[in-house]
Amino acid sequence: MTETSHPLAPDAPWIVLKFGGTSVARVERWHSIAELAQARCAEGARVVIVVSALSGVTDALKAIADAGDVADRRVRAEALAQRHIDFAVELGVDPALLAPWLAQLSELVAGGSDHRCEGFYAWQAELLSLGELMSSTLGNAVLRAAGVNSRWLDARDCFEAQPQPNQSEWSCWLAASVPAARDDALRERLASRQAAIFITQGFIARNAAGCTVLLGRGGSDTSAAYFGACLGADRVEIWSDVAGLFSANPRDVPGARLLRRLDFEEAQEIATTGAKMLHPRCLSPLRRAGVPLWIRDTAHPGLTGTVIGPEAPDAAP
C-alpha cells in the first residue's frame, strides 16, 4: 500500500469531501474519489470523505420499513443484500465485509432491534442507516485496494443529536439535528488516529442514549456540513452528478446558468426554492463557521463548479 509519505503537521487543515448516491454507485467514480482524496492529502490536508447510500438504496430501505408483512420485507431485503454483494464483486472487494450489516438487516426485518432503542421510529432509523453503513464499508475497501490508506469512521461516534424545543417524536429519530459548533475534541481524536483520510457515513448520528438517528432525507449534505463546521475545515466539497448550482433547475429550464460564485444568503435562497441540488439545511452550519462550500461534478472533476463562500460574490445573478 502506498502510504501518504509526508507526515502531516499536527495542525494540518481538514477538507471534507461528500459524494452522493450516483457517485458512489459506479465503479469508475471510485477512481476519481481516490484521486481527489489523495490530491487533497498532497496539499497537506486531512480528509474526511462522507458518502451517501448507493443510489436508490434509502428508498428501498424505506420500502422495507413500509412493507405490509414480513414475507414482503424479506423479499425486498434479499434483493437489496444481493445488490450490495454484486456491487462488491464489481468493485473487486470482498463481499464478506458486508456480513455484519447484512446480519443486522435480517435481524431488523425479522422484527428485532437494539434492545435499548425501542419503537417503530428507532427501528426505522436503524434500518435506514444500513445504506450508508454499507456504502462506506465498500468504499473504504475499494480505496484501500487502490492504495489509499483510509480509515472507516462511524459517524455515530462523531455526532450526538440534540433534541430541539417542541420536536416531534418522528423528527427526534428521523430528522434530528446536531449542534454544529467547532469540536476540538473531535478534531484531536481524529488527528491522533494517525490517518490522513477517513471515510464515513452521511445521514446518521446517535442520540444521547447511543441509538442511531437520521438527519432527514437528503441529510448527507448536512452531515458534510457538520463535519466541516465541527472540524473547522478549510472547505467542504459536495460532489454529485451536476456541474454546480444553477440559476434554475437545468432539467426544466434550458437556459439555466451555472453560478460560479455565491454568498451563503444567495445559495440559501436557491437551495430553498430551487432544484434540490443542495440540502437547504446544510448551509447555515457552514455560514456560521465561515467554511466555504464547493459544488462539483464527480464525472468531470476538472470543472470548476460553484463556490459558496462568506466573501462578496462577483457573479451575482
Q: Interface residues with ligand ASP (CB under 6 A)?
A: 21, 52-53, 58, 131, 202-203, 217-220
Beta bridge partners of 150: 197
CA gap 212, 122 in Å, rounded: 7
CA gap 134, 76 in Å, rounded: 16
Q: How far is the CB of 104 from ligand ASP (least distance, A)?
A: 17
Q: Measured from the CB atom, is 161 or 196 closer to ligand ASP? A: 161
Q: Does 313 bind Mg ion (CB under 5 A)?
A: no
Question: Which range binds Mg ion by CB under 5 A, 10-18, 155-163, 218-226, 256-264?
Answer: 218-226
247 class by beta-carbon count within 10 Å (0-12 exposed, 13-18 middle, 19+ buried) = middle
Q: Are 177 and 161 in contact (CB under 8 A)?
A: yes
Q: Does 218 bind Mg ion (CB under 5 A)?
A: yes
- Which is nearest to 108 in space by CA: 147, 154, 62? 62
Specify the pairing of strand 293-297 against strand 235-240: parallel
Q: How far is the CB of 7 from Mg ion (least distance, A)?
A: 35
CA gap 139, 220 in Å, rounded: 15
Q: How far is the CB of 232 from ligand ASP (least distance, A)?
A: 23
Q: Measured from the CB atom, is 134 or 282 closer to Mg ion? A: 282
Q: Does 309 bind Mg ion (CB under 5 A)?
A: no
By rule CB under 5 A, what string of x and - marks binding of each residue 164-203 to Mg ion? ----------------------------------------
| Residue 285 near which of ligand ASP, Mg ion, none (CB within 5-8 Å, type-dependent) | none
CA gap 230, 61 in Å, rounded: 29
Question: Which range binds Mg ion by CB under 5 A, 24-32, 79-87, 117-125, 216-224?
Answer: 216-224
Question: Which range binds Mg ion by CB under 5 A, 82-90, 99-107, 215-223, 309-317?
Answer: 215-223
| Residue 217 near which of ligand ASP, Mg ion, none (CB within 5-8 Å, type-dependent) | ligand ASP
Q: Measured from the CB atom, is 53 or 233 closer to ligand ASP? A: 53
Instruction: Read off the amino acid at residue 223.
Output: S
Q: How far is CA 71 from CA 18, 81, 102, 111, 127, in A?
A: 36, 15, 17, 12, 16
- Which is nearest to 61 in space by CA: 125, 149, 143, 136? 125
| Residue 58 near which of ligand ASP, Mg ion, none (CB within 5-8 Å, type-dependent) | ligand ASP
Give the cell for residue 314. 462577483
| Residue 108 near which of ligand ASP, Mg ion, none (CB within 5-8 Å, type-dependent) | none
Q: Measured from the CB atom, is 38 or 159 closer to ligand ASP? A: 159
| Residue 53 near which of Mg ion, ligand ASP, none (CB within 5-8 Å, type-dependent) | ligand ASP
Neighbouring C-alpha atoms within 13 Å toward the C-beta of 313: 15
Q: What residues make contact with Mg ion under the rule CB under 5 A?
A: 218
